[in-house]
Each structure stands twice: as structure tokens, then as C-alpha cells.
Amino acid sequence: MPVASQLPPSLPSPSSVSAPARPAATPTFDDAYARARALANDGQPELALAAYDALLARSPGNVDVLLGRGIVYARLGRWQEAERDLRAAATASPTYADVWSALGNTYAWSDQPEQAVDAYTRLIALQPQDAAAYVARGRVLRALGRNAEARMDLDKAKALGGGGAVFDALAAALQPRAGNPDATIAAGYTWAASLSSSWTDVGTGPRWNDQVAGIRHYTKAGSLGVETLRAHRFGLHDYAWALDGYANLWSGAYANLRYQRGAAARLFPANSGRAELYQSLGKGWEASVSDDVLGFAARVNIYGVSIAKYTGDWYVQLRHQNIVSAGSHGTGERLLARWYYAGDADTYAEATVNSGRSDDPLSLVGGQSRSGGGSATWVRYWTPQWGTRVGASFSRARGADNQRGVTFSLYRRW
């Protein structure tokens, strides 16, 4: 009797036998690199660093990987490691524009502006038609106080079609506002406070003294300050408060608006106001028109017009004023020269000379009087946050005693 053929009972049937497990496929270098970039851009820097480390183990000295890891280090504020990677990439591939861009950014962010200028200059040499490169270098040049060079970079970027928020911010920062330190503040600060006091020797009688305390907040739209004022003159005391603001308007234009209230009106006017409009004329020129209204018993209007030039480290302004009140009229001229000798926007020496003439039929000196004077001022920031102002002035008028005064101010910003 024939025996039926069958598989041994201890073995599975062929259809039920599982295929042997295959090891997981190793991602390609390009896939791993894309994954590392995605981690960096998705806000996972530590995972991105681990991925870049693994890539460098597979391809030591790879310029793209060094660039990517250097950028992540810079975002984390690990400046030495970022510079090490980016410098290595620049040495290996000195014509790689993205490396010089990242290196310039790293130096700019880590407060090394001179090195940032060098890196951006290399970038511009490689990409002379890149408007963003000129804007980046212009921002650092402005931080160094090299405004003339910064304006040249901005003009070049504009010619290449530059635009956007960064371009607009730099253009606004480079507007010639040297005549109005309160209009703008150094980059990185949004608040400033000041305390000033002045003493004036009027020849006969007790000296005059005045104090002003203020605080100001800065935004992209301008600034707003609140002040309290005290005056002691002719044996009288008086107090006032004021709101003083600067507002950005259209391209190259901004305005100063001020309101002051002196409730007792013993020395200060009961109400006074000011409006001045500034307009950039290009190539460092700026013009303004103004009207000051003083609400004394007899209202006084002071109409002003000025022309100013900002060139290199110098700011020069000529201002003419007409002073009009009931029954009298006066004029005045003032020439101001300010030298930013330290190459930044904080420290400067300033001198003014002025002359005036008034016509008053009730005057005891024949209906006409002339006056003149001048001042010298030194402003310096001793640290990025703390600064001082010291000034001296002299004035004379026909039929009156000469006056001499000194002023001291303390500044704090944060």
C-alpha cells in the first residue's frame, strides 16, 4: 500500500513562511541634508545641530553643512562656534556668497560692526547687483556713525530696486535729523529720560534758574515726551507741564508738535503751542517752517523758517524768525554748527551765534533795540545708557545788562 507523501508536521507550509527582515535603508546625504534644514527652519535648533553633526561625520568639511550649522549657532547666540564654522566655509569656498552674507549677519548680531562691514564688502564684490547686500552694509555703517557711506549704500540699493521694511527703516534712520536729537534715538532703545538745570546771571538782581525733567517714548511712528518745568526769575517761581511729540509723515518729512500749560501764568504763558514741519530736500539738505504761539496777556507769535545741511560729521543750520505781538515786531537770526567729532550720533560739540532786532514804539531806547549772543555746548554719552550735556551762553542787548548762563543736563536711556 503506497504511503501518501506530505510535509513534516513540524514545518510550516511554504505560503506561511515569513520573509527575512530587511535592515532600514540609510537616507541619502541629500535627504539627510534637507531634513537638517527643515529642523533648523522649523524652530528645532538642537535637533538641527545633531543632524548637521551627523552629516559632517559623513562628509567632513562640507561647505553647505558648515554654512547650515553656522547659521544655527548664530541664531542661538553661540557666536564663537558660528564664526568658526562660517570662517571654515569661507576658507574652503571664498566665492560662496551665502557664506559671506551669513558671516556678516553673525558679526552684526554679535556687535562686531567693523568685521561685519568687511564681510558685507566681500559679499558685494561677489554680488554687486544685490540691493539687499548694500542695505545690510548700510545698516552697519550707520551703527558705526559713518552716515555718509551708509547713504551711498542706500542710494545704490535704491538704484538697484531695493525696497521693503528694512530698506524703509534705514532710509528713515538716515534722514538728516541732527537738528532734533529728540526726534530719533539710538538703535535698541525705546525710552529716554532727562534732567536739566540752568543758571543765568542777569547783571543786577538775583540770578535766574530753570529746571526741566522729562521722559520720552520712541516708536516707529515717532516719539512722545512729557515734561515738567520750573522757573525762578524776578523773585518769582512758576511751574508748567508740556507734551512734546515728533511724528513721521510722508517720505522725508516729519513734524514737531508741542503744547505747554502754565496754570499760574506768573512766568510761563498760560498756554503755548508749537508746530514745525521738516522736509528733507535730498543730498543732506533739510528745510523747516514753524509757528510758536505764546499765550501771554498779549499773544505772541514766533514764525520761523530754517535751512540746514548735513554733511559728513557736520550739521549746519540757519534759522530766521519773525516775532509778532500787538504793537511790536522783531526779527532774529541764528546760525548753528554741530560737529559729531566721535563719528556717532550721540557725542557732539555745538556752537551758535545769534542776532536780533525789535521795533516797539513804547521802548525806552528810541523804538528800536538790537541784541546778540552765542552759546557753546558739549554733549557726550559716557556709556551706551548715560550721557551729559554742558553748555555756556552769553547775550547782550542795547540798554540792558549783559547776561551769562550755564546749563547742565543728565540723560538716561533704556
Whether 17 is in a domain gets the answer no
pLDDT for position 13: 45
pLDDT for position 288: 94
pLDDT for position 145: 65
295 and 380 housed in the same domain: yes
DSSP, residue by residue, 80-132: HHHHHHHHHHHHH-TT-HHHHHHHHHHHHHTT-HHHHHHHHHHHHHH-TT-HH
Query: Tell me, what CATH number does 251's domain have?
Result: 2.40.160.60
Residue 162 sits at φ, ψ, to 5 deg, of -65, 150
**Looking at the DSSP assignment, which residues form a beta bridge with residue 239?**
230
CB 390 within 8 A of CB 198: no
Q: Give CA–CA dist 414/407, Å, rounded.
A: 24
- The x, y and z cell numbers of residue 274, run together, are 508749537
Model confidence at 402: pLDDT above 90:
no
pLDDT band, very low/low/confident/very high, at 355 (cuts 50, 70, 90): very high
Q: Mean per-residue pLDDT for 84-91? A: 94
pLDDT band, very low/low/confident/very high, at 169 (cuts 50, 70, 90): low
118 and 191 housed in the same domain: no
Whether 193 is in a domain gets the answer yes
Q: Which range, of 206-210, 217-221, 261-265, averages the lowest pLDDT?
A: 217-221
Question: Which range of residues forms the domain containing residue 40?
Answer: 29-173
Q: Mean per-residue pLDDT for 60-89? A: 93
47 and 110 housed in the same domain: yes
Q: Which range, of 9-23, 33-47, 288-302, averages the lowest pLDDT?
A: 9-23
Find where cell 535627504 sits. 31
Query: Tell me, what CATH number does 47's domain have?
Result: 1.25.40.10
Model confidence at 178: pLDDT above 60:
no
36 and 144 housed in the same domain: yes
Q: Which helix (H) or strand (E) holds 55?
A: helix 45-58
| Prediction pTM value | 0.60
122 and 249 housed in the same domain: no
C-alpha distances (whole Å) from 257 to each of 15, 69, 293, 306, 332 are 91, 50, 12, 17, 22
**C-alpha dihedral, 156 to 157 to 161 to 164, nearest 10°:** -160
Query: Distance between alpha carbon 192 and the CA centroid of its chain, in Å?
Result: 13
Number of domains composing the chain: 2
Q: Give the N- to C-terminal CA distance of the chain in Å, as an integer.
A: 107
**Looking at the DSSP assignment, which residues form a beta bridge with residue 367?**
none
pLDDT for position 253: 85
120 and 215 housed in the same domain: no
95 and 237 housed in the same domain: no
pLDDT for position 151: 75
246 and 221 housed in the same domain: yes
Whether 379 is in a domain gets the answer yes
Model confidence at 168: pLDDT above 70:
no
Whether 22 is in a domain gets the answer no
Give the residue among 242, 275, 237 at the shortest CA–CA distance from 261. 242
pLDDT band, very low/low/confident/very high, at 392 (cuts 50, 70, 90): very high
Q: Give CA–CA dist 118/107, Å, rounded.
A: 10
136 and 200 housed in the same domain: no
Domain end, chosen from 123, 139, 173, is at 173
Whether 13 is in a domain gets the answer no
What letter does residue 297 receive in the DSSP assignment? S
Model confidence at 364: pLDDT above 70:
no
Whether 24 is in a domain gets the answer no
Whether 10 is in a domain gets the answer no
Q: Which range, of 2-11, 275-284, 346-355, averages the lowest pLDDT?
A: 2-11
pLDDT band, very low/low/confident/very high, at 5 (cuts 50, 70, 90): very low
The angle that helices 131-143 and 165-173 make with each other, rounded to 10 degrees, is 40
Q: Give CA–CA dist 256/190, Å, rounded.
A: 18
Q: Which range, of 60-69, 237-246, 358-367, 374-383, averages the lowest pLDDT?
A: 358-367
Radius of gyration for the alpha carbons in the chain, expressed in angstroms and rounded: 34
- The x, y and z cell numbers of residue 404, run together, are 551769562
165 and 196 housed in the same domain: no
| Kind of pairing between the strands at 191-201 and 403-413 | antiparallel
How much is the mean pLDDT over the chain? 85
239 and 111 housed in the same domain: no
- The x, y and z cell numbers of residue 37, run together, are 534644514
Domain end, chosen from 128, 153, 173, is at 173
Whether 404 is in a domain gets the answer yes
Q: Give CA–CA dist 225/112, Å, rounded.
A: 32
Q: Give CA–CA dist 332/126, Å, rounded.
A: 54
* 336 class by beta-carbon count within 10 Å (0-12 exposed, 13-18 middle, 19+ buried): buried
Domain end, chosen from 147, 173, 199, is at 173
332 and 204 housed in the same domain: yes
Give the amino acid at 324: V
Q: Give CA–CA dist 309/281, Å, rounded.
A: 10
